[in-house]
């Protein structure tokens, strides 16, 4: 049972994701998490402001169940299945993060500098989290999908647009990590 409490290897996660996608395919659904953001906007009444949000969101209820599953899964994994939440990333990455001021690198699940108890009191942290989310939401809808919709289910169906989007994801990610991080941290 010790295995349960250790971090799981990458291939197990890959198989689990593929299994979720297969179950959704066999249910006649599409695997895509960011569509839920649009659905939630519609539920909150965004249809009054933009045509984009006027669609039959009730038909997307199944996808909100997937979101609920992700929340419950996170809760169970973090509270009942974890001995140590430290993520053992490459030691070079840890050294690099410490020079940027991330002292929690190598000893936490997410940086306590961004996700710790003080986050709500620090305007710079709030801004970083907010802008990060804003770009994810805007970019995902503009590109018509996120990691699940393009990198996994789109590429699984050999879609060229998904390949272009994934190349875009990496261009953006590399610019942020290598060019912008040294400026903001």
Nearer to other proteins, 75 or 101 (CB): 75
Q: Which tokens in the block code for residue 132?
A: 């990060």
Work out how close the CB of 1 gets to other proteins at its nearest, in angstroms, rounded to a whole number.
14
Residues contacting residue 117 through CB under 8 Å, at least 6 positions apart: none
Residues contacting residue 91 through CB under 8 Å, at least 6 positions apart: 106
- 43 binds other proteins per the rule CB under 8 A: no
Work out how close the CB of 147 gets to other proteins at its nearest, in angstroms, rounded to a whole number.
4
CA distance 47 to 113: 37
Which candidate, 28, 53, 63, places its Cα nearest to that of 148? 63
Among positions 138-167, residues that touch other proteins (CB under 8 A) are 138-148, 150-162, 164-167
- 92 to 131: interface string for other proteins, x by CB under 8 A: xx--xx-------x--xxxx--xxx--xx----xx-xxxx
- List 65, 84, 124, 173, residue binding other proteins (CB under 8 A): 173
Nearer to other proteins, 58 or 92 (CB): 92
Work out how close the CB of 121 gets to other proteins at its nearest, in angstroms, rounded to a whole number.
11
- 36 binds other proteins per the rule CB under 8 A: yes
* Residue 56: exposure state from Cβ atoms within 10 A (0-12, 13-18, ≥19): exposed
Among positions 46-85, residues that touch other proteins (CB under 8 A) are 46, 49-50, 52-53, 67, 70-79, 81-82
Size of the site for other proteins (CB under 8 A): 115
Q: Which residue has the tokens 């909150």?
A: 44
- List 61, 83, 177, 182, residue binding other proteins (CB under 8 A): 177
Q: Evaluate whether 152 touches 24 at the Cβ level (below 8 Å).
A: no
Chain-centre distance of CA 184, in angstroms?
Answer: 21
């Amino acid at each position: 049972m010790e295995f349960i409490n250790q971090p799981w290897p990458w291939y197990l996660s890959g198989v689990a994701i593929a299994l979720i996608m297969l179950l959704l395919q066999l249910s006649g659904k599409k695997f895509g998490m960011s569509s839920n953001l649009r659905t939630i906007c519609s539920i909150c009444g965004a249809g009054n402001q933009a045509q984009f949000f006027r669609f039959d969101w009730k038909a997307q209820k199944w996808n909100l169940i997937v979101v609920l599953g992700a929340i419950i899964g996170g809760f169970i994994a973090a509270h009942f299945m974890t001995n140590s939440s430290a993520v053992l990333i490459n030691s070079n990455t840890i050294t690099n993060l410490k020079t940027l001021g991330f002292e929690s690198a190598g000893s936490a699940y997410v940086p306590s500098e961004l996700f710790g108890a003080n986050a709500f009191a620090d305007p710079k942290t709030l801004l970083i989290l907010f802008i990060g989310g804003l770009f994810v939401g805007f970019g995902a809808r503009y590109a018509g999908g996120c990691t699940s919709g393009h990198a996994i289910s789109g590429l699984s169906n050999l879609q060229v647009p998904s390949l272009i989007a994934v190349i875009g994801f990496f261009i953006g990610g590399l610019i942020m990590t290598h060019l912008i991080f040294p400026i903001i941290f």
